[in-house]
């Protein structure tokens, strides 16, 4: 059997390795000059000088900080999609607020805007859209709903770097905050890490304080400014969410490669779309005109014409040495969320239907065309 082909793999080069070694040798291993530089370069990548960029040690931390800075608390409700990773919703519980899950649009697999509208109550304070797989949500519709009901919008952009909606990069839209993930399997990585982006200066200042224990200035400042190095003030019971310079060292070089990474993902997605079109599979929706799919995931669904179940396909690919995954068992079927809100599987029939028929095929920049051909051939053979 040929080597096992994972469904995702980071691509780390010599530049990342050298930069990490430089950090280790410099003695500055935690948040410092490289974290600053990474924040600046991330802002430059997004191309909007009015944005604030706040590096953190995970997207989960970033989502938590954003909710905290936007004053989401007990008695409030936050609406999100059931077809997401639990991190999107768990942060709402950290703040003592409640989650209202909604169903998806069966074509894009993103939050259904009509379901969003229907879920709004007087307690609703925020919408937490997820750009599923790297395809932007219908953000204009979501922003319109938010304006109508005076709600905050916090984008979970863990899959959406770099995704484009109506000609604008995700991260630059007219929302309250956007949070990116640099987890190992995302479109770029820092091992663990995340970035919060916002135009709200006050919220940004709060997040910078809360990411490091509620200290009113970060460790780097303490060593370069006039105030005695030992002096700091605590203004809140903050968290330990700062990004390390070791992680930022990786991020600086991953970011420099991001456009190339994105081009490679586009190529791979195009090859899959062409090669799989005659199989009994629903292929992922493409980005609309003026948009760009970030292709974090390539999610296919079996159609009614398939004589194989999703699990049979996963097993067949696994026997051929090909890794796959499922994104996701919807939150309403996860014990914690199901029991907390007494949810039934059929409360969200479209997410259910998608879940039961979906699998994510391997897609990552280090994948060669020959690797992808193995996946294509294994699927073609299975359905022949
Ligand atoms: C990966 C992921 C997160 C969490 O990212 P971390 O950086 O691991 O905290 C949040 N939401 C979604 C949709 C994700 O896929």
| Cα–Cα distance for residue pair 263/259, rounded to 1 Å | 6
- Which residue segment(s) compose the domain that 230 sits in? 14-102+109-256
* Ligand 1 binding pocket mutation candidate from 91, 181, 194 (most atoms within 8 A of CB): 181
Question: Do residues 270 and 252 both lie within one domain?
Answer: no
Question: Do residues 59 and 201 both lie within one domain?
Answer: yes
Q: How far does the centroid of ligand 1 lie from the alpha carbon of residue 11, in Å?
A: 19
Residue 226 is predicted with a pLDDT of 72
- In a domain, residue 6? The reply is no
Bridge-based pairing of strands 124-128 and 152-156 is parallel
Q: What are phi and psi of 101, to 5 degrees?
A: -85, 145
- What DSSP string runs through 277-308? TTSSEEPPPPPPTT-B---S-EEEEE-TT-SS
Pick the atom of ligand 1 nearest to 181's CA: 7
Q: What are phi and psi of 104, to 5 degrees?
A: -110, 165
CATH of the domain at 222: 3.40.640.10
Ligand 1 is surrounded, with C-beta below 6 A, by 58-60, 84-85, 87-88, 130, 156, 158-159, 181, 183, 194
Output the CA angle 153-159-163, nearest 5 degrees. 80
Question: Do residues 90 and 229 both lie within one domain?
Answer: yes
- In a domain, residue 2? The reply is no
- In a domain, residue 3? The reply is no
- In a domain, residue 5? The reply is no
- In a domain, residue 322? The reply is yes
Domain boundary among 256, 290, 314: 256
Question: Do residues 271 and 375 both lie within one domain?
Answer: yes
- Supply the DSSP symbol for 366: T
Domains contained in the chain, number? 2
Question: Do residues 269 and 210 both lie within one domain?
Answer: no
Please tell me the number of Cα atoms within 13 Å of 249 on its side-chain side. 22
Question: Do residues 213 and 283 both lie within one domain?
Answer: no
- In a domain, residue 300? The reply is yes
Q: Annotated catalytic sites, by residue?
A: 186
Question: Do residues 219 and 115 both lie within one domain?
Answer: yes
Distance of CA 16 to the CA centre of its chain: 22
* Ligand 1 binding pocket mutation candidate from 67, 158, 160, 334 (most atoms within 8 A of CB): 158
Sequential pLDDT tens for the chain (384 residues): 568 999 999 999 999 999 999 999 999 999 999 999 999 999 999 999 999 999 999 999 999 999 999 999 999 999 999 999 999 999 999 999 999 999 999 999 999 999 999 999 999 999 999 999 999 999 999 999 999 999 999 999 999 999 999 999 999 999 999 999 999 999 999 999 999 999 999 999 999 999 999 998 755 566 666 778 788 899 999 999 999 999 999 999 999 999 999 999 999 999 999 999 999 999 999 999 999 999 999 999 999 999 999 999 999 999 999 999 999 999 999 999 999 999 999 999 999 999 999 999 999 999 999 999 999 999 999 998
Residue 130 is predicted with a pLDDT of 98
Question: Do residues 165 and 299 both lie within one domain?
Answer: no
Domain boundary among 208, 240, 256: 256
Residue 220 is predicted with a pLDDT of 57
- In a domain, residue 33? The reply is yes
Residue 193 is predicted with a pLDDT of 98
Domain boundary among 241, 256, 271: 256
Residue 229 is predicted with a pLDDT of 78
Question: Do residues 243 and 138 both lie within one domain?
Answer: yes
* Ligand 1 binding pocket mutation candidate from 99, 135, 183 (most atoms within 8 A of CB): 183
Question: Do residues 279 and 186 both lie within one domain?
Answer: no
Q: How far does the centroid of ligand 1 lie from the alpha carbon of residue 154, in Å?
A: 14
Report CA torsion sign: 87, 88, 94, 98: negative
Q: How far does the centroid of ligand 1 lie from the alpha carbon of residue 156, in Å?
A: 8
Tokens of 314: 């996963």
| Cα–Cα distance for residue pair 156/286, rounded to 1 Å | 20
- In a domain, residue 8? The reply is no
Question: Do residues 321 and 239 both lie within one domain?
Answer: no
Please tell me the number of Cα atoms within 13 Å of 155 on its side-chain side. 34
Residue 224 is predicted with a pLDDT of 66
- What DSSP string runs through 172-226? SSSSSEEEEE-BTTSSS--BS-EEEEES-HHHHHHHHHHTBTTBSS-HHHHHHSS
Question: Which residue's alpha carbon is at the smallest distance from atom 2 of ligand 1?
Answer: 158
Question: Do residues 294 and 346 both lie within one domain?
Answer: yes
CATH of the domain at 323: 3.90.1150.10
């Amino acid at each position: 059997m040929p080597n096992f082909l994972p469904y995702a793999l980071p691509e780390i080069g010599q530049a990342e390795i050298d930069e990490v070694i430089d950090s280790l040798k410099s003695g500055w291993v935690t948040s410092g000059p490289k974290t600053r530089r990474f924040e600046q370069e991330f802002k430059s990548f997004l191309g909007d000088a009015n944005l604030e960029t706040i590096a953190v040690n995970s997207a989960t931390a970033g989502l938590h900080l954003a909710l905290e800075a936007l004053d989401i608390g007990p008695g409030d409700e936050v609406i999100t999609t059931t077809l997401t990773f639990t991190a999107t919703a768990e942060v709402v519980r950290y703040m003592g607020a409640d989650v209202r899950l909604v169903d998806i649009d069966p074509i894009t697999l993103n939050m259904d805007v009509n379901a969003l509208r229907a879920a709004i109550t007087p307690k609703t304070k925020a919408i937490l859209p997820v750009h599923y797989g790297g395809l932007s949500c219908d953000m204009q519709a979501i922003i319109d709903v938010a304006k109508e009901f005076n709600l905050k919008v916090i984008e979970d952009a863990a899959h959406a770097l770099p995704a484009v909606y109506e000609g604008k990069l995700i991260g630059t839209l007219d929302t309250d905050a956007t949070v990116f993930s640099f987890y190992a399997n995302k479109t770029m990585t820092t091992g663990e890490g995340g970035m919060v982006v916002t135009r709200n200066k006050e919220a940004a200042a709060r997040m910078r304080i809360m990411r490091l224990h509620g200290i009113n200035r970060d460790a780097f400042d303490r060593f370069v400014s006039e105030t005695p190095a030992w002096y700091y003030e605590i203004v809140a019971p903050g968290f330990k969410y700062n990004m390390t310079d070791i992680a930022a060292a990786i991020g600086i070089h991953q970011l420099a490669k991001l456009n190339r990474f994105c081009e490679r993902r586009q190529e791979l997605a195009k090859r899959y779309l062409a090669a799989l079109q005659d199989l009994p599979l629903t292929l992922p929706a493409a980005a609309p005109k003026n948009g760009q799919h970030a292709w974090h995931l390539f999610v296919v669904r079996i159609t009614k014409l398939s004589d194989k179940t999703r699990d049979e396909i996963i097993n067949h690919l696994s026997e051929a040495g090909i890794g796959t995954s499922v994104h996701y068992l919807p939150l309403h079927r996860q014990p914690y969320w199901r029991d907390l809100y007494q949810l039934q599987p059929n409360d969200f029939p479209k997410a259910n239907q998608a879940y039961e028929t979906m699998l994510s095929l391997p897609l990552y920049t280090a994948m060669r065309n020959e690797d992808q051909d193995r996946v294509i051939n294994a699927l073609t053979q299975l359905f022949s």
